[in-house]
Structure 1
Amino acid sequence: MNYVFDFGAIFQGEYPALLLRGLLTTLALTGFAWLMAMSIGSVFAVLRLTGSRIANALIWLFVAFHRNVPMLVHIMVWYFGVPAILPDAATDWLNRNGAEFLLSMIAIGLVMSAYVTEDLRSAVRAIPPGQMEAARALGLSYLKTMRCVILPQAFRIAIPPLLNQTLLLFKNTSLAMAVGVVELTAAGREIENYTFRTFEAFAIVTALYLAISFVIMWGGARLSKRFAPLGSR
């Protein structure tokens, strides 16, 4: 018996609304985790370059831990392990305010911050050391030198790897379905369970992932062109 494709079945009843909610959840999870990763990664990259042995050792351990343990394990630890050691009041608050989303976002953001830390640290090392020396000679503090002179150039240099990390983060949000977050992949799974239209449901989910990935790549290409490192073509 030949399989009869019926994409119309996916767009009946509440299924389109379920897909939309899943897509919005994926975008929200991506956005919040990205902001967290960029913030922590930027701070840690600066701290690793201060020359402090203690800060460097602690951040090295953080980076090694988050880069060498699968992201799914981190999500499981945050969702099942962390609430067990929190006070009851904090656990109750989490359960009332979407613990699945919040804890998944924290886990994903922390893992990706480890990659951002290393990307930015590598970018800073690519900047001629004379710029740091010149800024300090002009009386700028270390933090002001990093904020006004070094980091703006580092972000320009790091746009390609940071774009790759953004794409990876976006795709890895699908792992949050393991703890009950109804993001795009989970929404497709629910529709498949109701309609038994496996190919159609996941074909649409795949198309949505591809469309958003292409938008991210297009935005990254525009940023790379607009903020190309000084002196490059």
Structure 2
Amino acid sequence: MTLTSDPPVDKATGPHVAPSADDGHDTLTVVPLRHPWRWAAVAVAAAAVVLAQFLHGLVTNPGWEWDVFAQFFTAGTVLKAVRVTLRLTFYGTVLGFALGIVLAFMRLSASPFLSAVAHAYIWAFRSIPLIVQLLFWFNLAYLYKELQFGIPFGPGFFSFDTMNLVGAMSAAVLGLALHQAAYAAEIVRGGVLAVDAGQSEAAAALGIPRHRQLRRIVLPQAMRSILPNAANEIISLFKGTSIVSVMAIGELFYQVQVVYGRNGRVVPLLMVATVWYILLTAVLSVLQHYVERHYAKGATR
């Protein structure tokens, strides 16, 4: 006979059983507690320190020459250049989007010919760099000294000289507008396609004329998709007007270059242009907000 002793009994927890190698506890993976927000707080604090150092350098570094910046920020030549930049942006936007709307509906047309023409235009003007287009229109008189209207490959009815037909400002507006139209067409087309086709089908079933369907039903809904992308294009065009400086047009960036070419104060003059671009972009962003809010009526609470 063998004597065995019962395992010790804990009055609170019951009998104590020693863990065995077969219960699986030795295969458990211990995962430490993670604190992702601590790392996020560290990243925010580091970014705040870097920003504070940058702002401190803006104030204390004499290389920024803020006195020169203040002298030229509201100078007459700079203000005139700002007006030229705004004019280029306005004309390029209005003409570009007017043509872009026509091209967008040509692409949406059931006519293969109209769709192919619009597609070819968009492909061409999105493929050719803007600076090349501007220089082409600026040198139109060199390429074509005379334009003639008449029967194709036949006699002409009348012609005129191209020497004074396209000046620097006209070439800039024409190039910006035609370039902008290619992108505006795709923005408008995408907005129209975003509207559920059932809207037009229901309107047609009610006997609403097609032009009224487009004006009162499709376009108000399409504007919600068009506006954010259109605003981006307008802001890009506003900043992209600096490219017309290759044609010696006195827009903001060109005028700043002229001034610092004379006095050698490159950094403060570049800051003049930068701050003007920031301020006017902020104004355009505010206008975008209110226009979007107008067209969002009935769609958002």
Whether the TM-score (by the shorter chain) exceeds 0.5 is: yes
1:82 is displaced (CA, Å) by 6.0
Identify if the C-alpha distance between structure 1 residues 147 and 203 changes in structure 2 by more than 3 Å, giving closer, same or farther.
same
Query: Are the structure 2 counterparts of residues 170 and 4 from structure 1 closer, same or farther at C-alpha, using a change threshold of 3 Å?
Result: closer
Query: SS in structure 1 opposite 2:109?
Result: coil
Larger radius of gyration: 2
Q: Higher strand proportion, which one?
A: 2
CA distance 1:220–1:63, shift in 2 (3 Å)? same
Matches of 2:99 and 2:250 in 1, distance apart? Answer: 26
- Note if 1:40 corresponds to 2:111: no
TM-score w.r.t. length of structure 2? 0.69
2:223 aligned residue: 155
Residue 117 of structure 1: aligned partner: 185
1:44-193 to 2 correspondence within 5 Å? 44-81=103-140, 84-85=143-144, 87=146, 89-94=160-165, 99-193=167-261
| CA displacement 1:79-109 (0-9 Å, x = unmatched) | 11366325385534436xxx11111111111
Q: Report how far residue 78 of structure 1 moved.
A: 1.3
TM-aligned CA distance change 1:196 to 1:41, over 3 Å: same
Pairwise CA RMSD of aligned residues? 2.4
Quote the Cα distance in structure 2 between the aligned partners of 1:29 and 1:200.
Answer: 25
* SS of residue matched to 1:181: coil
Counterpart CA distance in 2 for 1:74 and 1:57 is 22
Partners of 1:93 and 1:225 in 2: how far apart? 45
Q: Which is helix-richer, 1 or 2?
A: 1
Q: What TM-score results when the alignment is normalised by the length of structure 1?
A: 0.88
2:82 aligned partner: 23
Partners of 2:88 and 2:196 in 1: how far apart? 37
Q: What percent of counterpart residues are identical? A: 25
Within the candidate set 237, 245, 263, 1:195 is matched to 263
Gaps spanning 5+ residues in structure 1: where?
none
Opposite residue 69 of structure 1, the aligned amino acid is I
Retained in 2: the 8 A contact 1:116–1:162?
Answer: yes
Q: How many Å separate the matches in 2 of 1:128 and 1:82? A: 48
SS in 2 for 1:94: coil
- 1:82 & 1:230 partners in 2: Cα distance? 53
**Aligned counterparts of 1:63 and 1:150: Cα–Cα separation in 2:** 23
Q: How many residues align?
A: 228
